[in-house]
Amino acid sequence: MNHKLCAFFVSWCGALAITGLTANQSFAAQAKDSYSYYQVDASVVSLDASQSLASYRSGGKGTGTPGAQLGYSTPEVEISIALLLESNHFYADVTTRPHGKEGDDGAKTQREDLTSLRPTSLDLGTDKDGRAYHLNLTPSVVSVRLKPKSFREASDELYRLQFHASRIILNDKTYVGRMLASDSQVFRIEMCGVASLEFSLRHLKDAEPWGRLQNGQITLSQPDGASVEIGNVTNGAGDHLVEGGPYTVWVRWKKPQQTVDEYRAALSQYRDQLKKDAPKTGTTDTTAKALAAINQELVREPGPWVTSCGACDLPKKEFVGDE
C-alpha cells in the first residue's frame, strides 16, 4: 500500500475514533443530566351571578408547552392561547374574538408573562344570562430525567415510610397518640411506661423481626404479648399503599426512658416553671397555649402516652446487608 495512502487511512481512522469518542463522551454526559421545560394547565370555568358551588361549570381544559396553541370558547367569544418562549421568558398570548367575526375584526390580544410560575386568571366576560367566564392559567416546570433509573433504586424508595397523623393503638384497645412523620427509613416512638421503639423495613443491627406492614398498617409485637398498631402508613414519595404482604418490620424494642409517673411529674414541673416565669416575661399566647396543653394532658386518665416520635437517620453501619 502507498505510504501516503496508508498514513492518510490511519489518520482518517484516528479522526473517526476521536469523533466517536467525543460523541460517546457527549452522550454519556447528557445521560447523566436531566432537562426541564415550561408547561401550563389552562381551563375555562364559569359561575352564575350567585357564584355558588352548584353553579360551577367547566368549559374545557388542556395542557401546553412553548410552541403549542390551545383553543376554547364561551357562548360569546372564541379563545386562542399561543405559548412561546422569548429571551428566557415564558409567555401566553391570549386572543379573544367574538363569535362570527373573522380575522382581526374585534379580536383582542394580551400577553401574560408566566415566568414567575404564578397562576393567572383572566376575565372572559359575561353571557346574556349573567354567567361569568374565566380563563385560568397555571404554569409549572416539568423535569425529565434522561439517565435510566435502576429498578433497585425505584424499589429502595419504597423503604421510606410516610405517617399521616397515624393513630397509635396499644394492645388492640388503648389509644396513646398520633404519629406525624415522613420520608425516612427509620422511625422512633417513645411511649412512657411501655417502650422505646425504633423500627424500619430495613434490617437494623441488633433488631428483631417483630413487626409487619400490611395494607397500610404497621403492627409491632413483643413476644410477651405487648403490641403497638400504627395505621395510615404509606410508602415512598408517591404515598403508595403497598399491597400484599405482610412485610417484615425490624424492631429495636427497649425499656422506656420514663415511667408514666415520671412523665406526669416532669409535665407538672414544667407547668409550674411556666407559671413562675409568667410574671417576669409576660403571659404570651404561646405560653397560654402551652399551659392549656399541659393541663389537658394531666387531666387524662393515668396511662401510657406517646411522649415523642419521629424520623431519624442512621449511619450505614446500623444496617445489616440486604433483606
Q: pLDDT tens-digit profile of 94-107?
A: 999 998 777 667 78
Same domain for 162 and 251, yes or no, is yes
CA distance 285 to 299: 21
Residues 63 and 104 in one domain: yes
In a domain, 12, yes or no: no
285-298 vs 260-281: helix axis angle to the nearest 10? 160
DSSP 319: B
For range 170-185, the mean pLDDT: 90
Angle at 196 (CA atoms; ends 193, 200), nearest 5 degrees:
145
Domain assignment present for 11:
no
Q: Is residue 198 situated within a structural domain? A: yes
* Burial class, 63, CB count within 10 angstroms (exposed 0-12 / middle 13-18 / buried 19+): middle
pTM above 0.75, yes or no: no
pLDDT in tens, 112-140: 999 999 999 999 999 988 999 999 999 99
Number of domains in the chain: 3
Asked, for residue 32, whether it belongs to a domain, the answer is no
Distance of CA 33 to the CA centre of its chain: 22
Same domain, yes or no: 92 and 229: no
172 and 314 co-located in one domain? yes
Taking 90 as the threshold, does the pLDDT of residue 197 lie above it? yes
Are 81 and 219 members of one domain?
A: no
Confidence (pLDDT) at 242? 87
Averaging pLDDT over each range in 85-89, 180-184, 237-241, 282-286, which range is the top one? 85-89
Question: Are residue 107 and residue 162 in the same domain, yes or no?
Answer: no
Q: Do 244 and 265 fall within a single domain?
A: no
Residue 280 lies in a domain: yes
Give the closest residue to 306 by CA, choosing from 196, 183, 187, 173. Answer: 196
The answer to whether the beta carbons of residues 55 and 74 sit under 8 Å apart is no
Are residue 182 and residue 112 in the same domain, yes or no? no
| Domain co-membership, 174 together with 116 | no
Domain range for 270 is: 261-298
pLDDT band at 243 (very low <50, low <70, confident <90, very high): confident
Evaluate whether residue 79 is within a structural domain: yes
**Mean pLDDT, rounded, for 60-84:** 93
Q: What is the pLDDT of residue 292?
A: 81
Sign of CA pseudo-dihedral 237, 203, 253, 266: negative
- Band of residue 72 on the pLDDT scale cut at 50, 70, 90: very high
Average pLDDT estimate for 45-61: 92
Give yes or no: residues 112 and 216 share one domain: no
DSSP track, 140-176: EEEEEE-SPPPHHHHHHHTTSEEEEEEEEEETTTEEE
- Bridging pattern class, strands 57-64 and 186-191: unpaired
